[in-house]
């Protein structure tokens, strides 16, 4: 019994509340005629789809600059990588990996600039990051029209100039990860490749934080003066963390896009940030501490909640309450974490 209580004590209160809510939804689902296997496979697909984006929060939280609210910056890099791969006409896994490769390169470049900017606004990274996200999305909205992409699948059919809002990936690398080693049990579908990729990314990040560089990031985040006295260069550690977060965001959006089957440009990157931030916070992270467990738990709980809430609640209540709930949960979660921060600092 003590063990159970000890375990309960370690769980974050919001995680617990949302988890209980989730169970309630499942119970509710059992009474309605929603197919639970398809709900489960949907949830699992969405966990793998969003996981890497949530993972992008880890480096910046651990270096002490809070969740990466400038997620769109990295996402733009990822989108560019994917676009280049499409322009080259690459398909299947080749297309996917080339997209990742370009995304990583571009994200490192952008990340260095973004990190330089954040270093100049010490202590206000979260706010500046949010504005940076908005700015870069606005800027890229112009660029999408001007960049010299020529592939007819990508540009507007009329006029022949400018990228479309949504690009179909079916002919390129859509669903490559999802379909890799995929298996079915009745109505339940398991996207093995997608989850393997997410697991691999988690493992790599976990390993990275056990290296000297990763430890340096941890030290800076926990006590900058201790870090300095241990011979760490805090500016460099912060830069590395920001670049890493950017790269993960870039890779994350490609994974997301291939699973979704579409590449979304223009305003779309803006709507990725808050759910990602909320996910990791629901997983028990604070804006000062986060680990891989927070990422996995948080993504699982948050995405399952969204998947199940739609069909179940739409049967119980009238109208679409999911979108409202998503906003309440994600924004409420962020608000909660921010109010909690000063006490921990």
Partner 1 sequence: MQYALEMRNINKSFYGNQVLKNVSISVAPGEVHGLVGENGAGKSTLMNILFGMPVIHSTGGFEGEIFINGERVQIDSPRKAMEHGIGMVHQEFMLIPGFTVMENIKLNREITKSNLLSRVFGKPMETLDFPAMRKEAKEAISTIGMSIDELAVVAGLPVAHKQFIEIAREIDKKNLKILVLDEPTAVLSEAEAEKLLDVIRYLASKGVAILFISHRLSEVLKVSDRITILRDGVVVDSKPASSFTLSEIAEKMVGRKLEDVTLPPRSKEPSDDDIIMSIRNLKVRMPGEEVKDFSIDIRRGEILGIGGLAGHGKLGVANGIAGMYPAEGEVYLEGKPFKLNDPSYALNQGVVYLSEDRRGVGLLLDESVEMNIVATAIQVFGKFTKRFLFLTVYDRKQIRKHALEMIKKLDIRCKSPAQIVRRLSGGNQQKVCLARAFTLNPKIFFVSEPTRGIDVGAKKLVLDYLVKLNREHGITIVMTSSELAELRAICDRIAIVAEGKLSAILSPKASDAEFGLAMAGELQEVLQHG
The binding site for partner 1 (CB under 8 A) comprises 207-208, 210-212, 215-216, 219, 222-223, 225-226, 228-233, 289
Helix (H, G, I), strand (E, B) or coil at 185: strand
Q: In the complex, what is the shortest distance from the CB of residue 99 to partner 1, in angstroms, rounded to a whole number?
A: 23
Instruction: Tell me the angle at which helices 13-31 and 36-55 cross, rounded to the nearest 10 degrees.
Output: 160
Q: In the complex, what is the shortest distance from the CB of residue 214 to partner 1, in angstroms, rounded to a whole number?
A: 8
Which stretch of DSSP H or E encloses residue 264? strand 262-264
The Cα–Cα gap between 119 and 107 comes to 17
Q: In the complex, what is the shortest distance from the CB of residue 185 to partner 1, in angstroms, rounded to a whole number?
A: 33
- For partner 1, the closer of residues 3 and 318 by Cβ is 3
Q: How are the residues of the chain apportioned to helix, strand and coil, as percentages rounded to the nearest 5?
A: 70, 5, 25
- For partner 1, the closer of residues 129 and 221 by Cβ is 221
Give the closest residue to 197 by CA, choosing from 176, 216, 173: 176
- For partner 1, the closer of residues 104 and 232 by Cβ is 232
- For partner 1, the closer of residues 110 and 202 by Cβ is 202
153 and 85 in contact (C-beta within 8 Å)? Answer: no
Q: In the complex, what is the shortest distance from the CB of residue 7 to partner 1, in angstroms, rounded to a whole number?
A: 17
Give the closest residue to 67 by CA, choosing from 269, 221, 224, 262: 221
| Token pair of 321 as six digits | 């309450």
Give the closest residue to 76 by CA, choosing from 170, 199, 159, 163: 163
- For partner 1, the closer of residues 156 and 226 by Cβ is 226
CA atoms within 13 A on the CB side of 307: 22
Q: In the complex, what is the shortest distance from the CB of residue 237 to partner 1, in angstroms, rounded to a whole number?
A: 10
The dihedrals phi and psi of 209, each to the nearest 5 degrees, come to -75, 0
Question: Which residue bears the tokens 């690459």?
Answer: 90
- For partner 1, the closer of residues 221 and 250 by Cβ is 221
Give the closest residue to 139 by CA, choosing from 115, 113, 121, 160: 113
Give the closest residue to 151 by CA, choosing from 142, 139, 140, 160: 160
Q: In the complex, what is the shortest distance from the CB of residue 78 to partner 1, in angstroms, rounded to a whole number?
A: 24
- For partner 1, the closer of residues 207 and 327 by Cβ is 207
The Cα–Cα gap between 189 and 180 comes to 12
- For partner 1, the closer of residues 34 and 215 by Cβ is 215
Q: In the complex, what is the shortest distance from the CB of residue 203 to partner 1, in angstroms, rounded to a whole number?
A: 10
Q: In the complex, what is the shortest distance from the CB of residue 254 to partner 1, in angstroms, rounded to a whole number?
A: 23
């Amino acid at each position: 019994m003590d063990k159970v209580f000890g375990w309960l004590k370690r769980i974050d209160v919001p995680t617990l509340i949302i988890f209980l809510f989730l169970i309630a939804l499942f119970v509710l689902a059992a009474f309605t005629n929603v197919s639970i296997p398809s709900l489960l496979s949907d949830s699992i697909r969405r966990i793998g789809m969003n996981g890497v984006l949530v993972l992008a929060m880890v480096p910046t939280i651990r270096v002490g600059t809070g969740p990466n609210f400038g997620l769109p910056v990295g996402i733009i890099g990822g989108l560019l990588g994917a676009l280049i791969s499409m322009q080259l006409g690459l398909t299947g896994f080749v297309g996917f990996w080339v997209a990742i490769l370009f995304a990583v390169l571009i994200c490192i470049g952008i990340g260095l600039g973004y990190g330089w900017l954040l270093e100049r606004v010490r202590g206000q990274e979260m706010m500046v990051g949010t504005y940076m996200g908005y700015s870069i999305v606005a800027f890229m909205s112009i660029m999408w029209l001007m960049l010299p992409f020529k592939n007819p699948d990508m540009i507007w059919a009329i006029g022949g100039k400018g990228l479309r809002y949504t690009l179909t990936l079916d002919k390129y690398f859509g669903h490559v990860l999802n379909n890799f080693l995929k298996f079915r049990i009745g109505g339940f579908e398991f996207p093995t490749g997608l989850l393997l990729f997410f697991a691999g990314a988690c493992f790599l990040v976990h390993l990275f934080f056990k290296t000297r560089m990763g430890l340096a990031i941890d030290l800076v985040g926990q006590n900058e003066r201790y870090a300095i006295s241990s011979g760490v260069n805090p500016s460099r550690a912060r830069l590395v963390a920001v670049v890493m977060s950017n790269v993960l965001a870039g890779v994350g959006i490609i994974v997301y896009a291939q699973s979704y089957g579409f590449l979304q440009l223009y305003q779309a990157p803006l709507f990725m940030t808050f759910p990602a931030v909320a996910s990791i916070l629901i997983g028990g992270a604070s804006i000062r501490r986060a680990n891989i467990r927070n990422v996995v738990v948080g993504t699982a709980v948050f995405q399952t909640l969204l998947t199940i809430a739609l069909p179940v609640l739409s049967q119980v209540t009238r109208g679409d309450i999911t979108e409202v709930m998503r906003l309440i949960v994600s924004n409420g979660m962020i608000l909660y974490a921010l109010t909690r921060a000063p006490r921990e600092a």
